[in-house]
Amino acid sequence: MDSFIDKEVISGYSNMVTLGNPAQYKGASDWARDGLDKASEYGLITDKIKDNMSGAITREEFAEVAVKLYELYTGKSAEPAPSSTFTDTTNPEILKAYKLGIVNGIGDNKFAPNVLINREQMAAMLNRAVLVISLDEDTLIDGAPAFADEKEIESYFVSNVKFMAKKGLINGVGNNMFAPKATSTREQAVIIAVRVYETYSGM
């Protein structure tokens, strides 16, 4: 179960003085420690998010994590879409995520990089990442868990949420609730990226 306790993690990867390691992340929740240590090893924690892991994640920040996941899994450098794709960003990591089909624009040639993402949007984006790194993935959602607040999930995200929940990649928040409209945190997104990587790499 995801928890939202907000405490700074001190570990061999996050403590600036332990074994001389530089600080890799700060401001994380206690429950996230093991997953974030793995994420640090894998290189899934970006510079933009490392100083406040329990903070809400933006579309730009998520795109950067998603690209790191793709490049970690495939061992390939993603190619960006043309810099003219969006009028509100030229961030090459966003353009890579867009060309891969992991993220979409919001219309009118805009990406809205600073808009926060919620849990159903995170599920959709990471579901797309799974399909990019595992082209033969079975997308059937038969047997997926049913959440008590499923009616609150936007219809076009239901299959994404169910797929990710069926695979055990995204959990509910307790009491059989998914909380689709709740803001997603950086640590949640990164830890789910770790789960995706480990699931499909066989680690």
pLDDT in tens, 113-146: 999 999 999 999 999 999 999 877 777 888 899 9
One-character DSSP codes across 150-196: GGGS-GGGHHHHHHHHHTTSS---BTTB--TTSBPBHHHHHHHHHHH
State how many domains the chain has.
Answer: 3
Are 105 and 125 contacting, i.e. CB atoms less than 8 angstroms apart? Answer: no
User: Is 191 contained in some domain?
Assistant: no
User: Is 189 contained in some domain?
Assistant: no
What whole-number percentage of the chain has pLDDT above 90?
Answer: 80
Pairwise CA distance, residues 57 & 28, whole Å:
13
**pLDDT per residue over 51-71, tens digit each?**
999 999 999 999 999 999 999
User: Is 103 contained in some domain?
Assistant: yes
Report the pLDDT value the prediction gives residue 203, as an integer from 0 to 100: 63
Looking at 68, 85, 115, the residue that finishes a domain is: 115
Are 72 and 45 contacting, i.e. CB atoms less than 8 angstroms apart? Answer: no
Report the pLDDT value the prediction gives residue 143, as an integer from 0 to 100: 86
User: Is 203 contained in some domain?
Assistant: no
Helix and strand totals (H; E) in the chain? 6, 0
Looking at 9, 28, 57, the residue that finishes a domain is: 57
The answer to whether residues 6 and 34 belong to one domain is yes
22 φψ region: left (φ > 0), alpha (ψ -120 to 50), beta (else): beta
The answer to whether residues 85 and 124 belong to one domain is no
The answer to whether residues 86 and 122 belong to one domain is no
The answer to whether residues 100 and 151 belong to one domain is no
The answer to whether residues 167 and 136 belong to one domain is yes
Range of the structural domain that residue 104 is part of = 59-115
The answer to whether residues 122 and 177 belong to one domain is yes
The answer to whether residues 123 and 170 belong to one domain is yes
What whole-number percentage of the chain has pLDDT above 70?
Answer: 88
**pLDDT per residue over 9-32, tens digit each?**
333 333 333 333 444 899 999 999
Q: What is the mean pLDDT of the chain?
A: 88
The answer to whether residues 63 and 48 belong to one domain is no
**pLDDT per residue over 27-47, tens digit each?**
999 999 999 999 999 999 999
Are 123 and 99 contacting, i.e. CB atoms less than 8 angstroms apart? Answer: no
**3 or 74, which is more confident:** 74
Report the pLDDT value the prediction gives residue 55, as an integer from 0 to 100: 97
Looking at 34, 57, 80, the residue that finishes a domain is: 57
One-character DSSP codes across 27-73: S--GGGHHHHHHHHHHT---TTTTT-TTSBPBHHHHHHHHHHHHHHH
Are 124 and 90 contacting, i.e. CB atoms less than 8 angstroms apart? Answer: no
